[in-house]
Amino acid sequence: MIYLLRHGDAEDGAGDDAARRLTTKGTRQADTAGRALIALNAGIEVCLTSSKMRAAETAQRACRALEIEPETAPELRGGGFDALHLAAGRGETLLVGHEPDLSNEVARVTGAAIKLRKGGLAVLDGGTLVALLRPRDLASIAGP
């Protein structure tokens, strides 16, 4: 399975876009995503992330619960990417990135037209969209 996580809520884009950090809400979303993935028994083996600060922070916080270290993948920094290629041979993979790239990739792989919310998660099994979870769904799964 491939798990696509959109970065959490971030600072306004007044300065350098790549340097935008998570807000308090964004850090909470990232922490919650990690706990939800544990509760779902996702069995994530590897996490690849955009190098942009907000995505890297999201990956770092979510991966803390998963007890894995995220790796930077230049393909996730912005623009189109191939999730199946990135995840090939890696087992259960978490990709942390940006919109509209994540939703576009879900559409390319599955044909499903979605819009991934900040802190939201899409789960793919080959060419099938298995789940689309909003941050509030992840919070319900993660528990207190």
Task: Provide the β-strand partners of residue 129.
Answer: 124
Structure-derived torsion over alpha carbons of residues 134, 77, 63, 21, reported in degrees to the nearest 10:
-80
CA-based torsion, 131, 63, 77, 138: positive or negative: positive
Band (pLDDT 50/70/90 cuts) for residue 119 is: very high
107's tokens: 């559409």
Average pLDDT over residues 92-117: 98
CA-based torsion, 48, 31, 37, 127: positive or negative: negative
Per-residue confidence (pLDDT) for residue 16, from 0 to 100: 83
pTM of the model: 0.96
10 Å CB burial of residue 31 (0-12, 13-18, 19+) is: middle
Q: Are the C-beta atoms of 35 and 140 separated by less than 8 Å?
A: no
Tell me whether strands 93-97 and 46-49 are parallel, antiparallel or unpaired: parallel
CATH assignment of the domain containing 113: 3.40.50.1240
Average pLDDT over residues 93-107: 98
CA distance to 14, 62, 70, 75, per residue, from 131 (Å) = 34, 18, 22, 23
Q: Is the pLDDT of residue 19 over 90?
A: no
Average pLDDT over residues 109-120: 97
Range of the domain at 77: 2-12+17-142
Query: What's the structural domain count of the chain?
Result: 1
